Structure 1
Amino acid sequence: MKKQLLLFLLIIGASVLSAQETTIVKGKVLDASNDKPLESVNIVNLNEVVGTSTNSAGEFEIKAKANDTLHFSYLGFKSIKVRVTNDWIKFGSADIKLTELALALEQVVVNQLNLTGYLAVDIKQVPEPNDNYRYAISGLPSTGYEADRPGTISKIVGSIFNPADFLHRMFGKKPNELRKLQKMKQDDQIRNLLASRFDRETLMALLNVNKVDLDEIVKQCNYSKEFVESANDLQILDAINECYEEYKLLSRGRTGKL
């Protein structure tokens, strides 16, 4: 009886360990409306921080383990998150269906200048050029801070204390998200994906923050509003990474350690 119980426990233990092991998960992504395969769908394992994309037949393979979450995104389709199950791993493949988003025209606002014919009055209505500059802080291995011309010095001085502390407050209780920053820098597939995206969706899913907080992080790291609005997702990732690296250097200088 004891031997049978021991054997049963060993089988259960082996099953748990195998479920926790990282393996290769396979699947196919289809259009939910017609079951046609979708090519070049972006897939990111939010736990392992690895990415891939579907081939011409809609097929993909990605490293994952049971309970990992996969994020599927494709232009014009609603993004979804799918949990990797033991059955998926056991049976080897799964069909993932994406739903097409309804097309919507964005409202275009045209701001006209009400010219009076008097140069001294009309010239005041012309928008000022977007002059953004980057300033380096001696001793920090970065390309520096981006700031508008007015108040630049105060922004640089304030950035020594503010962005790093803000970044720590945002992620201090989420150490896994900070570790993901390093992993994202090393995965070429994810970097290539982010370089082509401007919607922040994948970044938000990876870092577990909403868009407002994500934009605020970059602003507090002293990047201009124009940069936040125009940068692609890879540039935003690198900006946060740069800010975090400087945070570590500044923290080391204050405390003598990381």
Structure 2
Amino acid sequence: MRRLLLILLSLIPLLGFSQVEDDQNQEVKEFTATVINAQTEFPLESVHVVNLNQVKGTITNQNGKFTIPAAVNDTLYFSYLGFKTQKVRVTNDMFRYGNTEIALTELAYALEEVVVRPYQLTGYLEIDVKNLPVNNAYQYSISGLNTSYEAGNKSPSAVTKVLGAILNPADLLRNLFGKKPRQMRKLRQIKEDDNIRDLLASKFDRETLTELLQLEKVDIEDILNNCNYSKSFIKTANDLQILDAISSCYEEYKVLNRNK
């Protein structure tokens, strides 16, 4: 009896390893489903659907239907203006029975009072210009490099800004990039998918980016801060601009650290 128990216990790790291997080798097939309004059950057109695992995107047609490459256990991310974003894990039953419906829930917005504070203009140009806020962010292009840098306003010296923009990724971002190499490799895949790019161009909340890159919002802000992007850019840029900024910084980081 004791010998049988030992044999069974020895097989448990092998069974677990076999299961993990099966999950990793799931076949990628075309997955079709329909997205509907949870309240009305009407189909939703132009919903953005992103497979976070395969880094592929698509949108629903006028009947709410979409088709996207997917494997069992892949996670699909749904985004639609005015509706709550949703993540759905693909199962065997979804492939087996078909006719899968994904219901999205409308967001309830509470309108808040908005106070407009106009600038106090005097009519004298010299005085009014001094009172208006000025964006001190600058873009610098370095000969031999394919990208430019927004150096922000950390230093009054333009030379210091340029040097800081180049050296910061090598000196300060090693841990951030080094800890997330798999997520950083997704950058190129994301940029090559037009549907994902269109989605990111319409988003300003960083929610989709955090899901795609598996980074926290604070990590994204740290990367951009250490790449010397200005606070105004970090705050106002859409998700596609943020993605391009991270990608540019990451590419320069790899070049500067190639021989280290």
TM-score normalised to structure 1 length: 0.81
CA distance in 1, matches of 2:215, 2:24: 31
- 1:246 partner letter: E
SS at match of 2:76: strand
In structure 2, the CA distance between the partners of 1:110 and 1:243, relative to structure 1 (3 Å rule), is same
CA distance in 2, matches of 1:199, 1:114: 32
TM-score normalised to structure 2 length: 0.81
User: 2:224 aligned with 1:224, yes or no?
Assistant: no
SS at match of 2:36: strand
Residues 228-237 or 34-43, more deviating: 228-237
CA distance in 2, matches of 1:224, 1:239: 11
Match of 1:144 in 2: 149
- In structure 2, list runs of 5 or more residues that go unmatched: 1-17
Q: How does 1:162-181 map to 2 (within 5 A)?
A: 162-181=168-187
In structure 2, the CA distance between the partners of 1:25 and 1:199, relative to structure 1 (3 Å rule), is same
In structure 2, the CA distance between the partners of 1:73 and 1:131, relative to structure 1 (3 Å rule), is same
Is 1:218–1:239's contact at 8 Å kept on the other side of the alignment?
A: yes
User: 2:135 aligned with 1:127, yes or no?
Assistant: no
Q: Give the drift of 1:127.
A: 2.8
Q: Give the drift of 1:153.
A: 2.7
- 2:182 partner letter: N
Q: Give the drift of 1:17.
A: 8.0
CA distance in 2, matches of 1:239, 1:194: 13
Q: Give the drift of 1:145.
A: 3.5
Q: Deviations over 1:163-217 (max 9, x none)?
A: 3444432232222201110101211111122122222221111011232322332
In structure 2, the CA distance between the partners of 1:61 and 1:245, relative to structure 1 (3 Å rule), is same
Match of 1:233 in 2: 239
Q: How does 1:183-194 map to 2 (within 5 A)?
A: 183-194=189-200
Residues 79-88 or 186-195, more deviating: 186-195
Is 1:163–1:222's contact at 8 Å kept on the other side of the alignment?
A: no
In structure 2, the CA distance between the partners of 1:217 and 1:84, relative to structure 1 (3 Å rule), is same
CA distance in 1, matches of 2:236, 2:147: 21
SS at match of 1:20: coil
Paired residues, number: 242
In structure 2, the CA distance between the partners of 1:166 and 1:30, relative to structure 1 (3 Å rule), is farther
Q: Give the drift of 1:18.
A: 10
CA distance in 1, matches of 2:230, 2:24: 48
Match of 1:24 in 2: 30
CA distance in 1, matches of 2:149, 2:119: 36
Find runs of 4+ consecutive structure 1 residues off by over 4 angstroms. Answer: 16-19, 112-115, 122-125
CA RMSD of aligned residues (A): 3.0
Match of 2:165 in 1: 159
Q: Give the drift of 1:89.
A: 1.8
In structure 2, the CA distance between the partners of 1:218 and 1:109, relative to structure 1 (3 Å rule), is farther
In structure 2, the CA distance between the partners of 1:175 and 1:146, relative to structure 1 (3 Å rule), is same
SS at match of 2:152: strand
Q: Give the drift of 1:83.
A: 0.6
Q: Give the drift of 1:19.
A: 6.8
Residues 38-47 or 225-234, more deviating: 225-234
Is 2:149–2:228's contact at 8 Å kept on the other side of the alignment?
A: no
SS at match of 2:257: helix
In structure 2, the CA distance between the partners of 1:38 and 1:19, relative to structure 1 (3 Å rule), is farther
Is 2:177–2:250's contact at 8 Å kept on the other side of the alignment?
A: no
In structure 2, the CA distance between the partners of 1:162 and 1:17, relative to structure 1 (3 Å rule), is closer
CA distance in 1, matches of 2:98, 2:76: 16
Match of 2:8 in 1: none
Aligned identity (percent) is 52
Q: Give the drift of 1:55.
A: 0.7
